[in-house]
Structure 1
Amino acid sequence: MSGPAPAVAAVRSAVAAAVTDLPAGSLVLVACSGGPDSLALAAGAAFVAQRSARRGAGWRAAAVVVDHGLQPGSARVADDAAAACRSLGLDAEVVRVVVDGRGEAAARTARYAALGRVADERGAAAVLLGHTLDDQAETVLLGLARGSGARALAGMPAVRGPFRRPLLGLRRADTVGACAALGLTPWQDPTNEAGHADAALRSRVRGEALPTLERVLGPGVAEALARTAAQLREDADLLDALAAELLDAAQTDGGLDVAVLAQAPAALRTRALRAAAIAAGSPAGALHRSHVLAVDALVTDWHGQGAVALPGAVAAHRACGRLALGPAPAS
């Protein structure tokens, strides 16, 4: 008797490895849009959960479909995705959200908030996301084009809080192949086609930029970008930990001790200041290097300048050797 198709086996193995640390009886949610990546993930999770249940020490799997309401017919697409998950043996629910703002970042914020809320309400131990190695490569390439720092170039982590990405080591071709082998018909998002009028920048990177790089530089570009992300993540994790220690050492009743901050290397100090600004309420996505350098100048180039305005109605100001970050005063 032959086993499953290689792509199916690869997805199942990736899911099993991603949840091996969860205690028996844990609930795991699968975020499913109905596309090939998340549908293959849902199929893999359903199989692994059912197999582990038969062995008597399993975890339970269910699916959550988030309808962003951004495209005509999105409700039908979400309902179809939920039905596909139910056909795999998963309990599935559709969550409708209102996206506050425009663009991929706003939709992502709404989606993660909804998934986190459902996970909390249902006591889920983890939420599985369908990002692949291709998604990781696209993230790194976009970060390079935007001049982002090491943290952004480190890409998406395999685990962050309740969210887990079992498929980061697999290619998109694997998820497409798994769906085909299992007789599943995934939804094809029209905005993922580079020629579509509403194509997102990421979709153009997927359909145009990466294929061009493969043609010019040869095969393996996506894998190389993913390796770059893994290497930078190790560095970024260490620097983040050291930055947190620096902030702890600089913390006083009146804010952050400028003398302590000034003694730190610039790479560490600016990372700590960025973390302090985000903790004070400045949105990470809107906080650029120019903002951080302006705050850093309050530490290293102080000549009596006024407060630095930061995104999110946050301000940084220096007084009496202390650096304070908090809500900007009302004008």
Structure 2
Amino acid sequence: MARLPPAVARLRAAVRHGLADLPEGSLMLVACSGGPDSLALADTVAFCAPRMGLRAGLVSVDHGLQEGSAARAADVAAWAREAGLDPAAAVTVAVGADGGPEGAAREARYAALDAAAERYGADAILLGHTRDDQAETVLLALVRGAGPRGIAGMRAVRGRYRRPLLGIARDDTHLACADRGLEPWADPHNADPRFLRSALRPVLDSLVGVLGEDLVANLARTAALVGEDTDYLDALALAALDECRAVSGPDPEGAGVGPDREGVGVGLGTKPDVGGLGAEPMAAGLSAGRTAGLDAKRVAALPTPIRTRALRAWVLDSGVNGAELNHRHLAAVDALVADWRGQGPAFLPGGIEIRRSDGRLTASAP
């Protein structure tokens, strides 16, 4: 019996590990552009899924941004059907302008993947991000001055999305394609310096040349370590947030909870339910124009890392688009509790305003 090529063996082990908790009979969809990472993932899943009692399909999203993109997506779907992946679909999306070309394409792609998951009843969507992608994400977060949430990078599991190759080197996906006789597509955008991630790749290569090959693995490990801490602090913040909800009735300034009153630091001495760590707060929207609000003094009494996370969760729950929310928005909201001087409202994306009045923070929709 011929020995399995090492790269192929590593990918199959990673996929088996990453999908081991899915119930038997679950359907997963591989998001595949035809590039080496996603193509190697799709090929690996096609082999592993039936042996694990799972079902696997594929979705190839055509962004319509390059000549021949529709034909390429159709070819990927045709290859998938031959490989035994079912369903196998090519989906065309319209890319908007908000968030820049990369952000707009990403938003359109994920919307199409979510729609496909709903249409086919998929339990999981698999993405081909590798350890190198994770290292690039950490560097981008540092360049942009992001906090721990950015440095934590991508998660192996986030809702229905899974990244089983997040611990696999990009070289292994290229080798696996060669070993399996696959012909991946080389996306010219990956070498286009107009895109920040593409421009960063030669910089990362230079850093590896200077600092050694362990750099990529070390950056990815940093993301994992920071991610664990971030998830735990997020859980503490959500527990504290629940106890900072304003009660009904007026609460004039000065009558709230002070440093010597009961309730300061609530939620910090109890162990949170960590079963759902990592899930982003869901944006529920403002059905009645205003939320019940938060007790400003209770929020102000929270330690800064908990307070800022609690406020972020609250504004997302108020209907703010997380992709448009930045540190300046959050700083303005935080100032309403941590640096209160009677200032006016904080203005957030989507026309939502956060005001402090009668000891409460309230959010209003346009």
Aligned equivalents of 1:267, 1:182: Cα separation in 2: 48
* 2:320 matches 1:324: no
Which position in structure 1 is the counterpart of 2:210? Answer: 216
1:238-249 matches, within 5 Å, as 238-249=232-243
Aligned equivalents of 1:326, 1:10: Cα separation in 2: 51
**Structure (1/2) with the larger helix percentage:** 1
Which position in structure 1 is the counterpart of 2:183? Answer: 185
Stretch moving more, 314-323 or 117-126: 117-126
Which position in structure 1 is the counterpart of 2:90? Answer: 94
Which position in structure 2 is the counterpart of 1:43? Answer: 43
Q: Match of 1:69, SS? A: coil
Superimposed CA distance per residue, residues 73-107 of structure 1 (whole angstroms, 9 cap, x where no aligned partner): 21112112212222322131011111222321221
1:296 to 334, 345, 356: 334
Which position in structure 2 is the counterpart of 1:31? Answer: 31
1:256 to 294, 298, 304: 294
Aligned equivalents of 2:157, 2:305: Cα separation in 1: 25
The Cα shift of 1:216 comes to 2.1
Aligned equivalents of 1:153, 1:318: Cα separation in 2: 31
The Cα shift of 1:238 comes to 0.7
Aligned equivalents of 1:261, 1:4: Cα separation in 2: 57
Which position in structure 2 is the counterpart of 1:8? Answer: 8
The Cα shift of 1:199 comes to 4.0
Aligned equivalents of 1:312, 1:225: Cα separation in 2: 35
Q: Match of 1:312, SS? A: helix
Which runs of no fewer than 5 residues in structure 1 stay unpaired?
53-57
For the 8 Å contact 1:129–1:166, the answer to whether it is kept is: yes
1:279-318 matches, within 5 Å, as 279-318=317-356
Superimposed CA distance per residue, residues 51-73 of structure 1 (whole angstroms, 9 cap, x where no aligned partner): 34xxxxx1111111111112222
Aligned equivalents of 2:26, 2:74: Cα separation in 1: 26
1:109 to 91, 104, 107: 107
Aligned equivalents of 1:205, 1:144: Cα separation in 2: 12
For the 8 Å contact 1:119–1:126, the answer to whether it is kept is: yes
Which position in structure 2 is the counterpart of 1:205? Answer: 200
Q: Match of 2:294, SS? A: strand
CA 300–49 in structure 1, closer or farther in 2 if over 3 Å, else same? closer
Aligned equivalents of 2:24, 2:341: Cα separation in 1: 60
Superimposed CA distance per residue, residues 264-305 of structure 1 (whole angstroms, 9 cap, x where no aligned partner): 011211111122122222222322212111111111222221
For the 8 Å contact 1:281–1:326, the answer to whether it is kept is: no
Aligned equivalents of 1:285, 1:152: Cα separation in 2: 12
Q: Give the residue type in structure 2 aligned to 1:267.
A: P
CA 232–186 in structure 1, closer or farther in 2 if over 3 Å, else same? same
Aligned equivalents of 2:328, 2:22: Cα separation in 1: 42
Aligned equivalents of 2:23, 2:323: Cα separation in 1: 35
Which position in structure 2 is the counterpart of 1:123? Answer: 121
Stretch moving more, 114-123 or 138-147: 114-123
2:56 to 51, 55, 61: 61
The Cα shift of 1:6 comes to 0.8
For the 8 Å contact 1:34–1:84, the answer to whether it is kept is: no
Aligned equivalents of 1:300, 1:166: Cα separation in 2: 41
Q: Match of 2:243, SS? A: helix
1:146-161 matches, within 5 Å, as 146-161=144-159
The normalised TM-score by structure 2 is 0.84
Q: Match of 1:24, SS? A: coil
Which position in structure 2 is the counterpart of 1:75? Answer: 70
Q: Give the residue type in structure 1 aligned to 2:223.
A: A
Aligned equivalents of 1:85, 1:4: Cα separation in 2: 22
Show structure 1 runs of 4+ deviating over 3 A: none
The Cα shift of 1:317 comes to 0.3
Aligned equivalents of 1:96, 1:223: Cα separation in 2: 35
Percent identity for Structure 1 against Structure 2: 55
Q: How many residues align?
A: 319
The Cα shift of 1:312 comes to 2.0
The normalised TM-score by structure 1 is 0.93
Aligned equivalents of 1:273, 1:258: Cα separation in 2: 11
* 2:136 matches 1:141: no
Q: Give the residue type in structure 2 aligned to 1:84.
A: W
